[in-house]
Structure 1
Amino acid sequence: MPNIAVRAAAEGMPAINRRRMLLGLAAASTAAAAITVASAAGCAPVENPELVRLGNRLSDASAEYLAALEEIEWIAAEWKHRWPLAPNEITWPRGDFTNGERDIAGRFLRRPGEELRCVRDVRNLAAIVATDRPLRHNASDAMRARHANWLATAKRELKIGKAYHAETARLRDVSGMDLAKARAAAAKKSLSDLVTAIMEQPGTTMEGMLIKAQAISTYEKSIARKYPFEAELWAAQLAASVLRLASEGAASA
C-alpha cells in the first residue's frame, strides 16, 4: 500500500504548539494579567501531569485511526472492479439500511440510474425453500406445474445466493478488508477511550482546558459522522471556538 498522508486537521496537537496556543489564549483573556501576577509570585498552578500525559498521546491515537481508514479506502479502490454486483435473481428494488447492496468496504452500492437494491441473504432464500409442502392428492395438473416451477425457482435462487455470498466473503478475506476494518474498529475504540480518559481527568489550569478542547475537536474530526445529531455538535463547536481563540491569540502575540 502506498504511503498516504494522514489528514493533519484531525491530528492531535504537539506539546510545543499547545504551549504556544496556551499563551495565545491567555493573551486573549481578561484573566491574563492575573495569571502573570500569580506566575511572578511563584504560585502558578501546575497542570495535572496525567492529563498532560494523556493529551500527548492524542496525536498518535488519531493518526493510527486515520491511517486505518486510509487503508480501507485503498483496498476498496484496488478491489472495486473485482467486486461482483448481486445477481438480479436475488435482488429486490428499494433496499434499506439492513439489506441494501454494499461494496467491499460495507458501504451502500447504488447502480447508475437506480435506487438502492435489496440483496436477499441465504437465510431468507433458504426459508422460502423450507416453506415447500406436499400438494393435496387432488391438486390439479396446473397447480402441480405451478408448484414445481415455484420450487425450482426458489432452489435456483438459493443456489445463486449461496454462491454470491460465499464469493463476497472470500473477496473480503483475501483483499485484507476484514482485517483492515478490524484494525480500524480497534483504533477507533482506542481513540474514544483516550478521549474519555482525558475528559475524566481533572484540569487545574487553562492548559488542561486546552487539552480537553483539543481532544474533543480531534475526535469529532476523526469520526466525522455524515448526519450527526445537532446536540452532538455542541461540544465540538465549543472546542473549536476555544482552539480558534487560542490560535488567534498566539498569532497576534
Structure 2
Amino acid sequence: MKPINQSAGAARAIELPSMSRRKLLLGMGAASAAAAVAIAPDAHGAAVGQALGFSGDRAENPELIVAYQKFNDACTRLEEARNSLEWLADEWRHQWPLAPEELLHGANAQDGRGTMPAERDIVGRYLIRDTSELTKRLAPKFRRETRNTCFAICAANEERKLLERWKRSTPTGRTEKALARNRAYRIKAIRECELRIQLAEQYEAETMRLRQVSGADAARLRVKDADLLLQKAADEVSKCQACTVAGLAMKADALTVTAGALMKITKSDESPLGQIARFIESVAEVAGRASA
C-alpha cells in the first residue's frame, strides 16, 4: 500500500480559469494616470477628445472618478489575495499528499468534463501528475503517449455506494465454470472496493486536516470575496457617465478586466458581440495613448 503522506511536491499545479494577471495589473496601473488626465487633461488628451467629439476643457464626471478609484482598490485587493494564496500553495506544496494510485481514475481531468472530482492541490488547482511512475494501472503505451496529466479520483462516499451494490449483487452463469468465475470476480471487486474506501478515507482526512491547519479554505474565500468586490466595482464604473477620453478609458479598462475572457473569444467574431469587443479594445488603446 502506498503511503498516504507521499508528497505532491513533484507534481505541477495549474491555475483555475480566472481573470488574467495582466488585466489586473492594467487596471491597477492605469488608475492614477487616467484620473489625472480626467481632472486636468493635457494637449494630447484634449486633441483626442475633440476628435471624438468631446470638449477639450471639459472636466470628468466626479462620480466616475470615485467609482474608478474603488475599482482600482478592488484590483489591488484581489491581486493581494491571489498572491497570498499562491504563497500558501508554495509553502505547503511539499506536505500535500498525492492521491494513492489505487484511487486514480480517468485521465485529463483538468479539462473539467468528467463527473468525478479531479485531484487538486491545497488551494484547489488541478494537480498534473508524472505518469511514468504509475505502473499499477496504466499501460506502458499510455504512459509513453501521455507523460503528464491530471486524474479524477475515487471518493470514499461513492466507493461505499459501489460496495453496497456489489454486496447486493448475485452472480449468475450459464455453466458452473462461468458461475464460479463470476463469484470470484465479485469477491475480488468487493475486496478492491474496501481497499479504496480505506485509502480514500485516509487521503480525505489528511487533505482536510492540512487545509484547516494551513488556512487554505479561508484564503480561497478571501480571493472569492475580492473577486466579487471587483465585479461589483466594475459594474459601478459602467453605470457612471463618461465626459472625457480619460473617462472612456476608465470604463473600457473596467470592462476589459472583468470581461477579458469574453472579449478575447468574441473579438474575431462577425456578430455584434465581435464589433463591441473590437470597439472597446480600440477605445482602451486610444484613451491609453491620450493618458500617456
TM-score w.r.t. length of structure 2: 0.67
Question: Conserved in 1, the CA contact under 8 Å of 2:266 and 2:277?
Answer: no
Q: 1:12 to 1:188 in 2, by over 3 A?
A: farther
Aligned partner of 2:217: which letter? D
| RCO higher in structure (CA 8 A, sep ≥6) | 1
CA deviation after TM superposition for structure 1 residue 29, in Å: 4.4
Write the distance in 1 (CA, Å) between the matches of 2:91 and 2:202: 22
The one-letter code of the counterpart of 2:55 is I
Q: 1:153 aligns with which of 162, 184, 192?
A: 192
Q: CA offsets, 1:92-134, max 9 Å, x none?
A: 2424224322122222211122332221112321111110126
Cα distance change, pair 65–233 in 1 and its aligned pair in 2 (3 A):
farther
Q: In structure 2, what is the Cα distance between the partners aligned to 1:145 and 1:32?
A: 80
| 1:104-253 alignment, distance < 5 Å | 104-112=122-130, 113-131=147-165, 132-133=167-168, 135=170, 144-219=183-258, 229-231=265-267, 238-251=279-292
Give the 3-state SS of the residue equivalent to 1:57 in structure 2. Answer: helix
| 1:188 maps to amino acid | D
> Does the C-alpha gap of structure 1 residues 172 and 103 become closer, same or farther in structure 2, counting only changes over 3 Å?
same
Q: Does the CA-based 8 Å contact 1:25-1:245 persist in structure 2?
A: no
The alpha-carbon deviation at position 162 of structure 1 amounts to: 1.4
The one-letter code of the counterpart of 1:110 is: I
Moved more, 63-72 or 13-22: 13-22
Unaligned runs of 5+ in 2: 1-21, 131-146, 268-272
Q: In 2, Cα distance between the equivalents of 1:166 and 1:227?
A: 42
Whole-angstrom CA distance in 2 between matches of 1:31 and 1:227: 26
> Superposition RMSD on alpha carbons, in Å?
3.4
CA contact (8 A) 2:34 2:291 kept: no
Counterpart Cα distance in 1 of 2:52 and 2:191: 81
| Offset at residue 234 of structure 1 (A) | 7.0
* Alpha-carbon distance change, 235 to 75 in structure 1, aligned in 2, over 3 angstroms: farther
Q: 5+ residue gaps in structure 1?
A: 1-5
Aligned to 2:46: 26
Deviation at 1:84, TM superposition (A): 0.9
| CA–CA separation in structure 2 for the residues paired with 1:84 and 1:233 | 45
Q: CA offsets per residue over residues 195-224 of structure 1, 9 Å max, x none? A: 01111223344443232123224445xxx6
CA distance in 2, matches of 1:31, 1:79: 55
Q: Tell me the number of residue pairs that the alignment of Structure 1 and Structure 2 aligns.
A: 236
Offset at 1:62? 0.3
1:35-60 deviations in Å (ceiling 9; x for gaps)? 24xx4xxxx4x543322211121221
Q: For 2:204 and 2:262, how far apart are their aligned partners in 1?
A: 28
Aligned residues of 1:18 and 1:210 also touching (Cα < 8 A): no
| 1:182 positional shift | 0.2
- TM normalised by structure 1 equals 0.76
Say whether the 8 Å CA contact 1:12–1:215 is kept in structure 2. Answer: no
Alignment CA distance shift 1:144-1:217 (3 Å): closer
